């Protein structure tokens, strides 16, 4: 299970970085958002599942790096890289684009691994903190996605772009990217947070039953 998740995450990452970004129109915000969500909400959780419990399970070594801290790190990374000036800089410079993608991967992997990994001792507390961290991330993803989708003017670019061969005006391209963030990013983090919360509550049921017995 863990090995399959790790390989699946790495294959997805290779497809995004090796096929999508090099050959698609990087000026398209929709393409950017597909890659972004694919990294943080697709590849990162799969890789985190594969790394949990191994020597690369960093939260087991650094218990202070909690899901709440990781969620704040990802919030800062996501919002900074969507500042229009930095977005334009990333589109014009392959080196900055690589830095951007690495930032998304590290921030996403840190959050998911802090939620899914760590020592067995205190696992329920970490899961509860992970549920809070993922729900907070879902909220800020929802907010940013809504702002982008509902903005009355284009914040990124000023000319028509090509999204998988379909010409899009800048505002339409931005709105499509915002919708992708809403549908994929917000939903995945919400589902992850609810799942961790359910696991925490279920793990406490047998203990409560034994106490009553």
Which one has a higher pLDDT value, 192 or 212?
A: 192
Cα→Cα distances 169→22, 88, 159, Å: 21, 16, 7
- Domain spans in the chain, listed from the N-terminal domain onward: 2-204
What's the whole-model pTM score? 0.88
pLDDT in tens, 113-144: 988 876 566 677 878 888 999 999 999 999 99
pLDDT in tens, 54-80: 888 777 777 777 889 999 999 999 999
pLDDT in tens, 39-54: 999 999 999 999 988 8
Flag whether pLDDT at 209 surpasses 70: no
Backbone φ and ψ of 66, nearest 5°: -85, 165
User: Minimal CA–CA distance to 67: which of 109, 139, 130?
Assistant: 130
Average pLDDT over the chain, rounded to whole? 89
Burial of 82 (0-12, 13-18, 19+ CB in 10 A): buried
Q: Render the burial of 191-203: b for 16+ CB within 10 Å, e for the rest.
A: ebbeebbebbeee
The C-alpha angle with vertex 185 and arms to 182 and 187, in degrees rounded to 5, equals 75
């Amino acid at each position: 299970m863990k090995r399959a998740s790790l390989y699946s995450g790495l294959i997805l990452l290779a497809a995004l970085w090796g096929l999508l970004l090099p050959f698609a129109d990087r000026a398209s915000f929709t393409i950017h958002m597909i890659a972004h969500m694919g990294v943080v909400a697709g590849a990162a959780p799969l890789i985190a599942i594969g790394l949990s419990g191994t020597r690369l399970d960093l939260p087991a070594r650094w218990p202070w790096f909690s899901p709440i801290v990781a969620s704040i790190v990802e919030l800062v990374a996501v919002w900074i890289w969507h500042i229009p000036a930095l977005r334009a800089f990333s589109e014009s410079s392959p080196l900055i684009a690589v830095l951007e993608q690495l930032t998304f991967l590290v921030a996403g992997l840190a959050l998911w691994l802090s939620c899914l990994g760590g020592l067995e001792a205190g696992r329920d507390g970490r899961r509860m903190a992970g549920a809070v961290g993922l729900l907070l991330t879902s909220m800020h993803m929802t907010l940013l996605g809504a702002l982008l989708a509902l903005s009355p003017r284009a914040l990124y670019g000023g000319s028509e772009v090509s999204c998988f061969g379909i010409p899009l005006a800048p505002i339409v391209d931005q709105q499509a990217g915002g919708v992708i963030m809403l549908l994929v990013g917000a939903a995945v983090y919400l589902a992850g947070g609810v799942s961790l919360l359910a696991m925490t509550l279920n793990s406490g049921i047998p203990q409560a039953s034994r106490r009553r017995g």
